[in-house]
Amino acid sequence: MFVGDASSYDASTLLAVNATPATLKALRRQGLQKSTSYRLPRLGMTVTTLQVPAGEDSNNVLARLHKQGLSGIMLNHYYQLDGTGVRQHADREYPYSMVRWPVSSPSCGRGVRIGMVDGSVDVRVPTLAHQRIRQKRFAGGKEKGAMEHGTAIAELLVGCHGGRFCGLMPEARLFTAVAFAGSKDNDPKATALAIVRSLDWLLAARVEAINLSFSGPDNGVLKMAIHRIVSRNIPLVAAAGNYGRRGAPAYPAAYPGVIAVTAVDRFHRPFADANQGDYIDFAAPGVRVPVPCGRDKMCYKSGTSFAAPYCTALVAGIRHRWRRKASLPRLMAVLEKNVQDLGVPGKDPVFGRGLVRCGRECRAFGR
């Protein structure tokens, strides 16, 4: 998997973006066979999958194509989820008190539409059985490996089960684009293609913010999709990555316009495995975050994956109150106004602008 380089990709496939008939003809002369074309109308893209000749590696073929002046051809990189889970004691309420979330309102999020790209969500668990969740699958392979992560993120965002647990916005509608699935070694992965198809579907759902609790390499197709979403002022909130302080920038968090969120513990200490860098925007609770994981049991999750939802819910709520009229710079200004500065004064590569917190803008979400 990606650990700071771009070596994780589908070696048998390349992607062509908005390829003309002439380009496809030239690719066929190079031995590439067109497989499937995916029209993504909200992103203004058509992505065509190309099978590379047997016995060749897609990266080597791509280098050859570029030398011949063929553009718009890209690798189909893999991405990974950014979280771990342990069963151990922790303060159940610390994330809410840290970000000053109005936990007393079970109606929080009414009318809000939140999107996420992740693994499958188990809507049978008590915290999600009666919530407003719609899923669409874009991944092949087994669900089990990625379901635990997707379910946990969904619980943090919209879960609720009596007085036992309530997520951030239990009355919100959640649109889950399933891009991740387990491989043979049960290691959940998503391709760049599955992710951009997911994003196109979420745009059609008219979500007010999109949670991206995963990371991987820089990829041309994903970069193009992210740029088009950002240009439409739709907030994207992404996990900063779990590759350590010396890890290379993690994407999509490191793309311009994406809100990159790192993880801290209840004492405001940085998560040991979190990425650092100039692209980090904010910090949020992400170490031993309590999430239901069975009948009357709690698991405590760590990783930048579990920090991102706190920022996603806040952004979605603000945008909903402002009737989607908030530009991304204005949203960033509101978030920055309410942060608690951590580390050295001002923006820094460890905590970004500081710990994201609720201001008066989020006190009446859904009421």
* 86 and 151 housed in the same domain: yes
* 312 and 298 housed in the same domain: yes
Predicted local distance difference test score (pLDDT) of residue 165: 85
Which one has a higher pLDDT value, 162 or 122? 122
Look at 3-7, 170-174, 188-192, 353-357 and tell me which has the smallest mean pLDDT.
3-7
- Does some domain include residue 367? no
> How many Cβ atoms from other residues are within 10 Å of residue 284's Cβ?
27
Domain range spanning residue 38? 9-77
Q: Which runs of E-coded beta strand occur in the chain?
A: 9-17, 33-40, 45-51, 73-81, 84-86, 113-118, 132-137, 160-161, 165-166, 173-178, 190-191, 209-212, 214-215, 236-239, 259-264, 282-285, 289-292, 298-302
Residue 322 tokens read as: 């402002």
The residue out of 77, 111, 137 marking a domain boundary is 77
The residue out of 77, 93, 113 marking a domain boundary is 77
Predicted local distance difference test score (pLDDT) of residue 87: 47
* 321 and 174 housed in the same domain: yes
Counted domains in the chain: 2
**Residue 50 dihedral angles phi and psi, to the nearest 5°:** -125, 125
For residues 73 and 10, what is the distance between their CA atoms, to the nearest angstrom? 14
* 48 and 116 housed in the same domain: no
Residue 317 has pLDDT above 60, yes or no: yes
Predicted local distance difference test score (pLDDT) of residue 5: 45
Pairing of strands 45-51, 9-17: antiparallel
* 111 and 139 housed in the same domain: yes
- As a whole number, mean pLDDT of residues 165-178 equals 94
For residues 158 and 174, what is the distance between their CA atoms, to the nearest angstrom? 7
The residue out of 43, 77, 111 marking a domain boundary is 77
* 117 and 259 housed in the same domain: yes
CATH number for the domain that contains residue 43: 3.30.70
Q: pLDDT tens digit string along 35-93?
A: 999 999 999 999 999 999 999 999 999 999 999 989 999 999 999 998 865 545 555 67
* 37 and 50 housed in the same domain: yes
CATH number for the domain that contains residue 139: 3.40.50.200
Residue 17 has pLDDT above 70, yes or no: yes
- Does some domain include residue 4? no
